[in-house]
Homo-oligomer: A and B are copies of this chain.
Amino acid sequence: MQTLLKLLRISFMTLPLLAMQQAKPTRVIFFGDSITQAGVGTKGYISQMKEILQSRGMGDQYELIGAGIGGNKIYDLYLRMEEDVLAKNPDVVFVYVGINDVWHKRTHGTGTDPDKYVKFYEAIIKKLQANNIKVILCTPSVIGEKTDYSNEQDGDLNYYASMIRDLSRKHNLTLVDLRKDFQEHLAANNADNKDRGVLTTDRVHLTEAGNKFLAEKMLDGLLKK
């Protein structure tokens, strides 16, 4: 009897500890470009995701880490993935890249060919999966907010978005279709057909509202079963 009591006592004492141990938060890395680099700022999308999780009482369940560098394209992610992602042992990685791969064709002549975009993307997916990391894909949001399909690089951006959708199907991965989400939101909220100022400050980088919108969509992707 004494032994039983003793065991029970131990159980009562260790249970919380076990619970705490089970409560080890899911480590999530956002792997991307300048939008993600800004995402860890005060009102950045990653910071806003943390706030939302907190407000829903889920703050302890997730550890959100930004790994964004301005100007990055798909091959830049590949080059630094060991150091900036794998070394941190994440459970989940959002890959959110593609805007510069398209945009820089026009601004610097240094975008990424579609076939190589896919090749590097698949190399990244493969390495992440080889490390048992859940991979979540994101389509590139916008380069210009006009809603009449006349943003200069809309066609090309749609093409890269379609390649990412194909990758998500092929590899059976969760997709956050930001391109679609942004376009739908703008169709409803940009009656003046402005090229910036609703979700972005400069056609690409996000306003606080843009970061909030992105935070919600990313969270949907994270919590999707």
CB–CB B109/A105 < 8 A: yes
- Min Cβ gap A107→B in Å is 8
By a CB distance below 8 angstroms, the chain B residues around A17 are: none
Q: 1/0 per position for A87-117, CB-CB distance to B under 8 A?
A: 0000000000000000011111111110010
Q: Which of these, B76, B110, B157, B158, contacts A110 with CB under 8 Å?
A: B110
Q: Is A153 an interface residue (CB 8 A)?
A: yes
CB contacts (< 8 Å) of A75 on chain B: these are 75, 78-79, 120
Determine how close the nearest CB of chain B comes to the CB of A180; give it in whole angstroms.
12
Q: B123 touching A150 by the CB < 8 A rule?
A: no
| A108: chain B residues within 8 A (beta carbon) | 105, 113
Closest to A72 in B: B116
CB pair B116–A113 under 8 Å, yes or no, is no
Is A154 part of the binding interface, using a Cβ–Cβ cutoff of 8 Å? Answer: yes
Chain B residues, CB < 8 A from A79:
75, 78, 119-120, 123
Residue in B109, B120, B157 whose beta carbon sits within 8 Å of that of A106 in the complex: B109
Contacts of A113 in B (CB 8 A): 71, 104, 108, 110
Contacts of A153 in B (CB 8 A): 155-156
A115 to chain B, nearest CB (A): 9
Residue of B nearest to A113 (CB): B110
Residues of B within 8 A of A107 (CB): 107
Contacting residues, chain B, for A106 (C-beta < 8 A):
105, 109
Does A151 sit at the interface, judged by CB under 8 A? Answer: yes
Return the chain B residue nearest A158 by Cβ: B150
- Residues B148 and A152 in contact, CB atoms below 8 Å apart: no
Contacts of A120 in B (CB 8 A): 75, 79
- Separation of A154 and B155 alpha carbons in the complex (Å): 5
Which of A109, A116, A148 has the most CB atoms of chain B within a 10 A radius of its CB?
A: A109
16 A–B pairs (Cβ distance < 8 Å), ordered by A? A71-B113, A75-B78, A75-B79, A76-B116, A78-B78, A104-B113, A105-B106, A108-B113, A109-B110, A109-B111, A110-B110, A110-B113, A149-B149, A150-B158, A151-B155, A151-B159
